[in-house]
């Protein structure tokens, strides 16, 4: 998987690090904002959950709107902690945000993307 290139994208170094971690999450799997910030801290990068969320809020290339060369950052795979229902799947009521929104059509879109990946090819 290609790293995010600062020559192609106008992302801050922190956003690049967040996007690289998020791009490593396999389809059908999720990570929490806290897990991503812990991963970054383990690499010596100062991070907190809120900063990860703000970086992802600015993601211009979610899975269903990739760049022309196919590049995307699957930010729908990042969920808030404590979002698991009884069956272990993320719960819509507390799944976290998506494209800067915490409710409404954006969250419905996030749930559809997660559901589609669960089914797999």
Give the model's pLDDT for residue 93. Answer: 56
Kindly state the helix (H) or strand (E) to which residue 35 belongs, with its residue range. Answer: helix 33-42
> Strands (DSSP E) along the chain, which ranges?
31-32, 78-79
Average pLDDT of the residues in 108-115: 89
Give the model's pLDDT for residue 117. Answer: 87
49: annotated active-site residue: no
Distance CA 86, CA 109 (A): 22
| Tokens at 58, concatenated | 């600015």
Distance CA 110, CA 121 (A): 18
Mean confidence (pLDDT) of the chain: 83
Number of separate helices (H) and strands (E) present in the chain = 4, 2
Q: What would the pLDDT profile of 14-52 be if each residue is shown by its tens digit? A: 999 999 999 999 998 999 999 999 999 999 999 999 999
Give the model's pLDDT for residue 62. Answer: 87
Q: Which residue ranges form the domains of the chain, and what is each CATH number?
A: 13-119 (1.10.10.10)
């Amino acid at each position: 998987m290609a790293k995010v290139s600062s020559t192609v994208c106008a992302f801050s170094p922190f956003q690049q690090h967040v996007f690289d971690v998020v791009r490593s999450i396999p389809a059908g799997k999720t990570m929490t904002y806290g897990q991503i910030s812990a991963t970054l801290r383990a690499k010596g990068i100062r991070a907190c959950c809120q900063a990860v969320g703000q970086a992802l809020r600015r993601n211009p290339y979610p899975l269903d709107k990739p760049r022309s060369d196919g590049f995307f950052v699957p930010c729908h795979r990042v969920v808030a902690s404590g979002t698991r229902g009884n069956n272990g799947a993320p719960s819509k009521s507390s799944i976290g945000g998506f494209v800067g929104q915490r409710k409404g059509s954006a969250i419905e879109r996030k749930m559809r993307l997660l559901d589609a990946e669960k089914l797999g090819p």
